[in-house]
Amino acid sequence: MEGRPYTTMSHRIVYQFSGEIGKIASEYLKEYSIERRLSQSTIREVERRLGRFCESLKAKGIEDPRLLDLNAIKEHFSSTTNQTQETVYVIRRFVYYLSERYNLDKDMYIWLKEYRIQKRKKLPSIYSEEEIKTLENSIPRRSPSQKRNYAMILLASRLGLRSSDIVNLQFQNIDWDRNIIKITQYKTGENVTLPLLLDVGDAIVDYIMNGRQKSNIPYIFLTACAPIRKLQSYSVGNMVHSYLANSEINITGRKSGAHALRHSLATNLLGKGVKLPVISGILGHSSTESTQYYLGVDMNRLSMCTHDVNMIPQDFYEQKGGIFYE
């Protein structure tokens, strides 16, 4: 407040393992750390999660391990702080340790073994059709690497291919006579057949004829400089990020890798009224459940689910004795 320099000080919480169950927890931690050869940072993490559990039991008056029951464990996991899979893992191993020593109810360990934290998925980052066109038009196509990058971005933005499938694309995957691309997805193993759009086909041909290094490597997209080899998946994401960052598109608060183009394609198709099974087929999803992930960003359709809010009459605010009455 006085404008003088200062430094922040963090105080590490030292958990007190009190009572009989706390003593056992302390012994267990020593044995477990030696058995697994845990690092000091991992030991502190286990100590923190185990200490919270012991404090929770102490607050319920449970300091004797023989009094431990399933309700106490469930109450502990009802706290948002303890809603992590790592905490479940630590408590599960400790409860199993107690069960072996005190012949406790096996249902507690069975429940913990099957218990899973349901993580909430984050909404995918998407770009509008206009932004995708801006990205595509911002890519020059003069040098061999530029021709290659343009073709790869079209495969991601127009067909929704993942980075792994783009770098693994081979000549045998393209049927030029029927204008289709047939691949087996690297991530899921699902077979996918996609139309070879005119712009995408022209970009690939331009790269093969005028940009690709002469090589017997069966993969289409190769490095531009020696040693000539197949590209890695991460290079596609880095390339897309570079073009997005250098374009006129505002990427603040949005992911800017190759997968964002796949998300954008699905969301834009959904906005045009394309049915979920069709989008699932394009993306290579085995079911529409995975595709429903994109429903959360379809604001137009979400707005159709809203209900009108009834207006509160004026006399509610003017009623005598009411909270708003003066």
pLDDT in tens, 159-198: 999 999 999 999 999 999 999 999 999 888 889 999 999 9
Residue 308 predicted with pLDDT over 80 = no
Cα–Cα distance measured from residue 141 to residue 146, given in angstroms and rounded to the nearest whole number? 5
Alpha helices (runs of H) in the chain, residue ranges in sequence order: 19-36, 40-59, 70-77, 85-102, 106-114, 129-137, 144-159, 163-167, 198-210, 233-246, 258-271, 276-283, 288-291, 299-303, 314-318
CB 116 within 8 A of CB 83: no
What number is the average pLDDT over the span 270-280? 80
What pLDDT does residue 298 have?
Answer: 58
Q: At what angle do helices 40-59 and 70-77 cross, to 10 degrees?
A: 120
Query: Which of the four pLDDT bands, split at 50, 70 and 90, describes residue 324?
Result: low
Query: What is this structure's pTM?
Result: 0.60
* Type of residue found at 228: I
**Comparison of pLDDT for 77 and 243, the residue scoring more:** 243
Query: Which of the four pLDDT bands, split at 50, 70 and 90, describes residue 220?
Result: very high
Nearest CA among 62, 134, 128, 130 for reference residue 98: 62
